[in-house]
Amino acid sequence: MGLIHHRGALLAALLLASFCVPLLSGQGQDQAPAPRSPHRWLDPTVKEEYKKWLREDVAWIITDEERADFKSLLSDKQRDEFVIAFWERRNPTPGAPENKFKEEHYQRIAYTNQHFASGSAGWKTDRGRIYIVYGPPDEIKRHPSSAGPGTPQHPNTPANARYPYEVWHYRNMKGIRRDVSVEFVDICECGDYRLTVDPSEKEPPGQKD
């Protein structure tokens, strides 16, 4: 039970971090969270391209303070300048015309949309969020379901696996710690893998501690 509690605490912290404290693969930022106000965001005069940028492009990496600041801007010129400054702050080589962080970020989004989409765009999923924020894992172990009644069991499926699940291992997850394993469980068996903080979710009824 100690191991389960430890793992649950770690994954809970990971989930909280990926939602509330966006991390940068190139540079760290220490910015205090700011309250989120939809007032400016709902302004019909704000072009959709700016709303999409905030809602989709940088959803998982923008800080609360930056989000609030962006929503408070009053002109397209200010928004364009904000976007330029946003990426420049994350540029591994400040002042260089080529921004590796920005390029990698959009590559990650494209990858998640291609590989993790399931009822919604891949970037919206739990796997998509973790992949975009922390990058590709060093190792992925995939475990198919032990299946329901009448369905043949996969020979490599662990005996206690009720649902399909994946374990992503990071040797060094920036902002979390070294040697982190993250579990995603497909409870609906529809390809929608969810980040779990409860290891028992992959166990069948009657086998939970």
165 within a domain of the structure (yes/no): yes
* Sheet of strand 194-195: strand arrangement: 139-143, 165-173, 177-185, 194-195
State which residues of the chain have pLDDT below 70.
1-42, 146-161, 198-209
Helix, strand, or coil (residue 11): helix
14 within a domain of the structure (yes/no): yes
Q: What is the pLDDT of residue 15?
A: 52
Give me the half-sphere count of Cα atoms (radius 13 Å) on the Cβ side of residue 73: 20
Q: What is the pLDDT of residue 31?
A: 36
Q: What is the pLDDT of residue 104?
A: 97
108 within a domain of the structure (yes/no): yes
83 within a domain of the structure (yes/no): no
d(CA 85, CA 104): 17
154 within a domain of the structure (yes/no): yes
DSSP state of 18: H
- Quote the number of domains for the chain: 1
Range of the domain at 18: 2-27+90-202
pTM strictly above 0.85: no
At 73-85, the pLDDT tens digits run: 999 999 999 999 9
Q: What is the pLDDT of residue 118?
A: 87
78 within a domain of the structure (yes/no): no
Q: Which residue(s) pair with 167 in the sheet?
A: 141, 183
d(CA 73, CA 69): 7
